[in-house]
């Protein structure tokens, strides 16, 4: 049975899309069929990591939500893009399909102006899993808590919550953890991102685990190398031996654990 993995953070700028994309590709490279849906309709961005731009995208999640097409018609097989982008490093044994949100200003404005029927998202996720025969569906969410993110949290088999070592993130994450527990999410994994390299990572992990009584799947360092890539590629493919990439793979192991 397919597994739905929502990647969420209470605040923006935590590296959510970057981590989602790298996790999805790592899971796919282990022989799985993986889908990614960008539900951050107001501020989409994950498509950039897969080399998609406005000219290459003629369909998006928005078209499905407005009843113009089936959700599987909005999915792009980005596996060839990944292989071409990272050269010999990337050998894809699985597939990655991306459902992007539209980056056209008019369509983002239409969402803000007219809203959309959030219940269609749940139907669409299940339809996508069936039609593309997916093993994993990753959902890249909008930060914070609203109707759409609550739904994405509720339907998760695994919820990956990202936070930075920052007091504002700590408070917001507490709210999200509480909501996820009320919605009986089967597995919740915390990921600390952008930790200063001068920190004691083991102590930080212990502190976060004790604060939330939840598993910390990994602590990712604040890395100039990752930032330097500027979302132009997938870092785990570009530099698989980097400490950031190794920790990311450890997080993927826990996402995939039974």
**Whole-angstrom distance, CA of residue 97 vs CA of residue 134:** 9
- Name the residue nearer to other proteins (CB basis): 122 or 232: 122
**Cβ proximity of 233 and 8 under 8 Å:** no
User: In the complex, what is the shortest distance from the CB of residue 167 to other proteins, in angstroms, rounded to a whole number?
Assistant: 26
Q: Considering the complex, what minimum distance in angstroms separates the CB of residue 184 from other proteins?
A: 5
What does the binding site for other proteins look like in residue numbers (CB under 8 A)? 4, 42, 111-122, 126, 146-148, 150-151, 154-157, 179, 182-186
For the CB of residue 42, give the shortest distance to other proteins in the complex, in Å: 8
Query: Whole-number minimum distance, CB 199 to other proteins, in Å?
Result: 35
Identify any residues that bridge with 192 across adjacent strands, giving them in sequence order. 163, 219
Q: Kindly tell me which of 84 and 175 has the beta carbon lying closer to other proteins.
A: 175
Cα–Cα distance measured from residue 57 to residue 46, given in angstroms and rounded to the nearest whole number: 13
Q: Which two tokens stand for residue 24?
A: 């999805």
Query: Are the beta carbons of 14 and 194 closer than 8 angstroms?
Result: yes
Distance CA 123, CA 78 (A): 23
Q: How far apart are CA 29 and CA 214, in angstroms?
A: 28
Q: Name which of 49 and 151 has its Cβ closer to other proteins.
A: 151
CB of 196 to other proteins, least distance (A): 36
79 versus 156: smaller Cβ distance to other proteins: 156
Chain-centre distance of CA 106, in angstroms? 25
Between residues 89 and 179, which has the closer beta carbon with respect to other proteins? 179
* DSSP structural state of residue 102: P
């Amino acid at each position: 049975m397919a597994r739905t993995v929502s990647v969420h953070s209470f605040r923006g700028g935590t590296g959510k899309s970057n981590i989602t994309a790298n996790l999805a590709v790592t899971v796919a490279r282990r022989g799985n069929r993986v889908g990614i849906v960008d539900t951050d309709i107001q501020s989409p961005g994950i498509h950039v990591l897969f080399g998609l731009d406005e000219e290459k995208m003629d369909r998006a999640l928005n078209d499905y939500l407005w009843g113009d097409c089936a959700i599987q018609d909005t999915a792009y097989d980005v596996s060839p893009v990944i292989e071409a982008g990272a050269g010999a490093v990337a050998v894809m044994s699985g597939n990655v399909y991306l459902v992007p949100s539209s980056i056209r200003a008019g369509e983002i404005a239409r969402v803000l102006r007219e809203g959309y029927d959030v219940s269609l998202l749940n139907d669409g996720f299940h339809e996508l899993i069936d039609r593309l025969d997916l093993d994993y569906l990753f959902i890249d969410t909008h930060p914070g808590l609203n109707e759409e993110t609550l739904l994405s949290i509720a339907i998760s088999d695994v919820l990956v919550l990202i936070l930075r070592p920052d007091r504002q993130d700590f408070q917001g994450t507490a709210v999200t953890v509480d909501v996820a527990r009320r919605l009986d999410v089967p597995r919740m994994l915390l990921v600390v991102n952008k930790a200063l390299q001068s920190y004691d990572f083991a102590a930080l992990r212990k502190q976060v685990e004790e604060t939330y009584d939840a598993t910390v799947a990994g602590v990712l360092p604040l890395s100039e190398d990752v930032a330097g890539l500027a979302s132009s590629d997938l870092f785990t493919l570009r530099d698989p031996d980097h400490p950031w990439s190794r920790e990311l793979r450890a997080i993927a192991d826990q996402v995939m654990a039974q």
